[in-house]
Amino acid sequence: MNKKYYRWLILILALLVLTFGAGIISLLSGEMDIPWHTLPDILVQKEGIQYSIVTQIRWPRIVLAFSVGGALSLTGAILQGIYRNPLVEPYTLGISGGAALGIALVVVLGLHLSMGSYMLPLAGFIGSIVTIFLVYTLSFRRGGININRMLLIGVMISFVASSMMMFLMAITSSENLHGIVFWMMGSLDEPNALLIDIMLYASLAGLFISYLFARPLNALRLGEEKARHLGIHSTITLRILFVVASLLTGICVAVTGIIGFVGLIIPHIVRLVIGSDYRILLISSFLGGSFFLIVSDIIARTVIAPNELPIGVITGLAGGLIFIVVLTRANVQSKIS
């Protein structure tokens, strides 16, 4: 076997083991710790409070963390490839701002109280879709899409959406304000099994579709013109990948709120470890993001138990510190070399 493929296989197996191990620890950890040697008996007997905690509370959170972490990291890897910029993340294009504005509108108008539990995630998803449409439409010019223009428009739309949301927060009641702020910090406490299933299937579908474009993404690393010379239809590729990445981000934000840094730091670290070949970068980023979010959820549930921290706080602190360390070490190594 080629040495490169052997390294890839080792990396994937290591990420699978780490993700599986983190999932087991998450099942056992919480306000009520469960001894690891009793877990098989609990799952076989299918009764008691420990069985309910494992299957109805902790397992859905693990599935959601696996799906959202993988989707956000995968989206970050795709967008960084499209824009050829390692600092681009899923929220750069203003998708999170549009979703947050949709949520804020629904909360301020009280529609979530009269139209059921699906109203908040639906509003968030609609807000993200509107943002995607605006970014795509305003970026399109005769001759195709300018990705730099798209990036700038996304950032400006994010600022506008944030300002409008701040206006709504300033004029609403303190109760509504608390709900909006808590949603913005992100949470995996989602009791709706249908939304969790949608998130899982969407993330796996996004991984499958993105793999169909691994070769074009590798070619786009050289630039759009050179990619065209290699036989890649860069315009269609950019459109499809932009839509896939945007929809994945919109679903994540609609279901769990804004969970930052996953789509920025994980693809960046994976790229430093294994390289920029998208045949390995996509799956490694997906598994790395899943592992990172599962571990972050464990910390969020246990660090001040029985209370729980918003998971966005943990990912922001951990991701920011890790990113600073990675950049510092990279600068030091470049100076030494």
CATH of residue 184's domain is 1.10.3470.10
Does residue 41 fall inside a structural domain? no
Q: Which tokens belong to 26?
A: 């998450």
337 pLDDT band (50/70/90 cuts)? very low
Q: What per-residue confidence (pLDDT) applies to 8? A: 87
Q: What per-residue confidence (pLDDT) applies to 98? A: 85
Does residue 20 fall inside a structural domain? no
Looking at the predicted structure, is the pLDDT value of residue 336 above 60? no
332 pLDDT band (50/70/90 cuts)? very low
Question: What is the per-residue pLDDT across 273-318, written as a single tens digit (0 to 9) for each?
Answer: 888 889 999 999 999 999 999 999 999 888 887 788 888 888 888 8
Question: What is the per-residue pLDDT across 44-92, written as a single tens digit (0 to 9) for each?
Answer: 887 888 888 888 888 999 999 999 999 999 999 998 888 887 778 888 8
Count of structural domains within the chain: 1
325 pLDDT band (50/70/90 cuts)? confident
Q: What per-residue confidence (pLDDT) applies to 152? A: 85
Q: How many residues does the chain have?
A: 337
**Which candidate, 97, 73, 77, 74, places its Cα nearest to that of 85?**
77
162 pLDDT band (50/70/90 cuts)? confident
Q: What per-residue confidence (pLDDT) applies to 334? A: 40
203 pLDDT band (50/70/90 cuts)? very high
Residue 30 to residues 259, 297, 315, Cα–Cα distance (Å): 21, 10, 18
Lookup result for tokens 């420990």 = 50
Q: What per-residue confidence (pLDDT) applies to 118? A: 77
Q: Please, which residues bridge with residue 145 across strands? A: 140
Looking at the predicted structure, is the pLDDT value of residue 1 above 60? no
Does residue 275 fall inside a structural domain? yes
More confident: 243 or 70? 70
First to last CA, the chain: 31
C-beta neighbour count of 46 within 10 angstroms: 9
Q: What per-residue confidence (pLDDT) applies to 144? A: 62
Q: What per-residue confidence (pLDDT) applies to 116? A: 65
Q: What per-residue confidence (pLDDT) applies to 294? A: 95
Does residue 146 fall inside a structural domain? yes
- DSSP label of 134: H
141 pLDDT band (50/70/90 cuts)? low
Contact 214, 282 (CB under 8 A): yes
Q: What per-residue confidence (pLDDT) applies to 145? A: 67
Does residue 10 fall inside a structural domain? no
Average pLDDT, integer, range 224-234: 72
Does residue 128 fall inside a structural domain? yes
Q: Please, which residues bridge with residue 51 across strands? A: none
333 pLDDT band (50/70/90 cuts)? very low
Does residue 174 fall inside a structural domain? yes
Domain of 111 in residue numbering reads as 74-282+311-336
Query: CA-based Rg of the chain, rounded to a whole angstrom?
Result: 21
Does residue 206 fall inside a structural domain? yes
The mean pLDDT value of the chain amounts to 84
| Range among 63-72, 107-116, 124-133 with highest mean pLDDT value | 63-72
Residue 256 to residues 2, 94, 120, 319, Cα–Cα distance (Å): 41, 17, 10, 18
**Which candidate, 53, 119, 128, places its Cα nearest to that of 97?**
128
Single-letter amino acid code for the residue at 179: G
Instruction: Of 17-26, 33-42, 171-180, 225-234, give the lowest mean pLDDT range.
Output: 225-234
Q: Measure the CA–CA gap between 324 and 229, rounded to whole angstroms.
A: 38
